[in-house]
Structure 1
Amino acid sequence: MEVEEIQGDLFEGAQPTDGLVHCVSKDLHMSKGIAARFRDEFRGVDELRKQNRSVGEVAVLDRPPRAGVFYLVTKLRFFDKPTLASLQASLEDLRRVCEQRGVCGLSMPRIGCGLDKLGWEDVKKLIYVAVIWNRISSPVKSVFLNCRLNDRPRHPQEQQEDQDEEQIRIQLHAGSAEASKQR
């Protein structure tokens, strides 16, 4: 099993036949970060919606010569944050899908660590366990962990958008708690 963790542009540095992997919400909002770049590069949001994947599953776009573009559904709504458990379930589904499709190479950014704020060391362990170490039947021979896009300095507008999303999340959760008390 070959595993590389390198700095570079995921879209330029990945092997042209590798499957590309990243995380999304079930609502497929994809308006920021690397998700927006995936949306712009591969389009197909309607095709993804038709697959109606749940949290813990993987949606796939076929974009030859790539082995597929894999969308790990790790949270319900774009403003939610994933858990390690939801990421683990999505990675296990990714392994299953790769087995079915005969995928031999995957390239991914630091999934779950940019806007989603999971810890890279924890996420890396999940990747190793779910996709790499569990290779009794997995055809995946290489995983290219690309880090640059999520490690780049954040533009002040992006930082403000993150704060705005956090406020929305707080308001929604506060509203949900208030509604529960009224019941």
Structure 2
Amino acid sequence: MTYRSSVYESTDQTPSCVMLGRKIRLPCDLQFGRRPEEEVAGEDYISIRFVFYLVTKKYSRTKMLYKNLWQTLWNLRREMEFHHVKKLAVPKLACGLDQLNWRTVRNMLEVVFRGTGVQVLVCSY
């Protein structure tokens, strides 16, 4: 779910303040709580977490290639080692619209992260 939270220049208010008369509570605020008027930066929620965007092809409409995914996974490993990240949660990479074989992709993940101590969790929905 996404929320429009940018401030309008003309009103100096967020869309939720204009339409509802108050700031909206984000799902993470509702679950974990927040002081009513405390300003919280995004870094406060994810202070020790990293989000890596895996870019595997130049255009979304082009066909996914195993060699591009292979190179991307090695780049991911290098970045994770640099930042000392030891846990990785990913969906079934490249197996949706890109139609790559999940067994092959899983084997690639195992080879790339073998011996690094990284725990890989594959989230399937």
- TM-score range with shorter-chain normalisation? 0.5 to 0.7
From 122, 145, 151, the equivalent of 2:122 is: 145
Unaligned runs of 5+ in 1: 1-36, 42-61, 149-183
Partner of 1:92: 74
Over 6 Å off, 4+ runs? none
Identity, % of aligned positions: 32
Q: 1:139 to 1:147 in 2, by over 3 A?
A: same
Alignment partner, residue 71 of structure 1: 53
Distance in 1 separating the partners of 2:117 and 2:80: 7
Inter-CA distance 77–103: structure 2 relative to 1 (3 Å threshold): same
Q: Tell whether the 8 Å contact from 1:99 to 1:139 is kept in structure 2 after alignment.
A: no
**RMSD in angstroms over aligned alpha carbons?**
2.1
**After superposition, what is the alpha-carbon deviation per residue over 1:88-129, rounded to whole angstroms, capped at 9, x for unaligned?**
000001110000000010000000001111110110011001
**Runs of at least 5 residues in structure 2 that lack an aligned partner in the other structure:** 4-42
**Greater percentage in helix:** 1
Q: Which structure shows the higher strand fraction? A: 1
User: For the pair shown, which has the larger CA radius of gyration, 1 or 2?
Assistant: 2
Give the Cα–Cα distance (whole angstroms) in 2 for the partners of residues 88 and 112 of structure 1.
Answer: 11
When the two structures are superposed, what TM-score results if normalisation uses the length of structure 1? 0.43
Q: CA offset at residue 67 of structure 1?
A: 2.4
CA distance in structure 1 between the aligned counterparts of 2:97 and 2:108, rounded to whole angstroms: 18
Query: Residue 66 of structure 1: CA displacement?
Result: 5.2
Asked if residue 125 in structure 1 is aligned to residue 107 in structure 2, the reply is yes
**Which whole-Å CA distance do the structure 2 matches of 1:91 and 1:123 have between them?**
10
Query: Which structure is higher in RCO with an 8 Å CA cutoff and minimum separation 6?
Result: 1
Aligned length: 85
